Amino acid sequence: MNNITDRFLTSSILIFLALLFTGCSKEQQGEQKTIILAHAMHATHPVTLGMNYMTERLEEISDGRLTVKTYPTSQLGGERELLELVQIGTVGITKVSGAALENIVPAARVFSLPYLFRDEEHYRKVVDGDIGREILDAGTAFRLKGIAYYDAGFRSFYTVDRPIITPDDLRGLKIRVQPSVMAINLIRAYGGSATPLAYGELYTAFQGGIVDGAENNPPSFYSSRHYEVTNYYIINEHTAVPDFLVISTPLWESLTEQEQQWLQEAIDESVHYQRVLWDESVLESMEAVKAAGVEVIYPDKEPFRERVMPIYDTFRESYPDLYQLVERIREIE
């Protein structure tokens, strides 16, 4: 299929969706409003369960006057398409990785810097504090109001045939990455070949030998069943890229102050709920992949950290304003 036909079909689908859905529809009778939420996550993923909890609490808190209709598992498109649908208002809320958001909201690129966070406590202090709020608010200029972070843990490598003990072991390997310049630069720093690929295509890509490895957090490694087609999981924990919950800015502004309070309260409760699920899921996922025969490797992280430090020099030269965020993050105790 040629590019012109692809664009025509894409445009037709978007127009069709726009006719069928609005980001927030108002019932003809009464004052009930329904917000469209779409995402690409698996049904059992702790982030999905967190969003499900949010929708349940919103209906309870608002006494049914503000509800959410959810379209999970990429029913309305992948993360890139969903961001576009939120921008035009066809979808009201979506959940996307910071790696996808950074292509629209530059401030989100900070999270893709390797070894920026000392540990999980440091990471959570950042996202729960002023810096985290600043980055969420940065999306409003692009019609994408950030309303919450969901934990997505620390990302590590997994491979089919080669155990990774040192950074040099990644040399020459084709590693799947998210569509992120920062992620591509990370793999190149290790001497690997970065291969941007849709997440839903990765399982068959392993089977077909298109990629040699990928990188993700334990719950995603397990829920995607990628452990079935790989043999090694290397816990080097190079990045901690959160999931962003974003709402269409025009939709947010169209809600009454009371409706905004209901929605934010439900979201805040879901964040705490999701963190508990996340911590439990990490432990359960690690045990499950070990039981399935995956060899879990815990390498010395320092050589991995040292190898990618030049990325910071490039980042400072390219984004001097954003680098100030990096310095502030490092100062948080």
Window from 16-30, 118-132, 228-242, 301-315 with minimum mean pLDDT = 16-30
pTM of the complete model:
0.87
pLDDT of residue 273: 98
Domains in the chain: boundaries: 3-152+242-282, 155-240+288-331
Window from 28-32, 136-140, 174-178, 238-242 with minimum mean pLDDT = 28-32
Asked if pLDDT for residue 225 goes beyond 50, the answer is yes
Asked if pLDDT for residue 2 goes beyond 60, the answer is no
Tokens 């962003």, residue located = 244
Average pLDDT of the segment spanning 241-258: 97
Reported as half-sphere exposure (CB side, CA atoms, 13 A), residue 302 has a value of 0
Same fold, 3-152+242-282 and 155-240+288-331: yes
Asked if pLDDT for residue 7 goes beyond 50, the answer is no
- What's the pLDDT tens digit per position in 175-202? 999 888 999 999 999 999 999 998 889 9
Provide the token pair at 104: 């629209």
Distances (CA, A) of 309 to 69, 113, 116, 120, 198: 44, 9, 10, 20, 28
**What's the DSSP call for residue 148?**
E
Q: How many helices (H) and strands (E) does the chain have?
A: 14, 12
Length of the chain: 333
Q: At 22, is the pLDDT very low, low, confident or very high (cuts 50, 70, 90)?
A: low
Full DSSP string of 13-34: HHHHHHHH--SEEE-SSSS-EE
pLDDT of residue 3: 41
CA–CA dist 45, 71 (Å, integer): 15
Residue 33, burial from CB neighbour count under 10 angstroms (0-12, 13-18, 19+) = buried
Q: At 13, is the pLDDT very low, low, confident or very high (cuts 50, 70, 90)?
A: low
CA–CA dist 137, 149 (Å, integer): 12
Average pLDDT of the segment spanning 134-155: 97
Domain 3-152+242-282 annotated CATH 2.60.40.10: no
For residue 227, give the nearest of 278, 170, 156 by alpha carbon.
Answer: 156
Contacts of 73 (CB under 8 A, 6+ apart): 40, 41, 42, 43
- Residue 315 belongs to what H/E stretch? helix 310-318
- 2 versus 168: the higher-pLDDT residue is 168
pLDDT of residue 16: 46
Average pLDDT of the segment spanning 165-170: 98
CATH superfamily of 155-240+288-331: Bacterial extracellular solute-binding protein, family 7 (3.40.190.170)
Q: Crossing angle of helices 120-128/130-137, nearest 10°?
A: 60
Average pLDDT of the segment spanning 33-43: 94
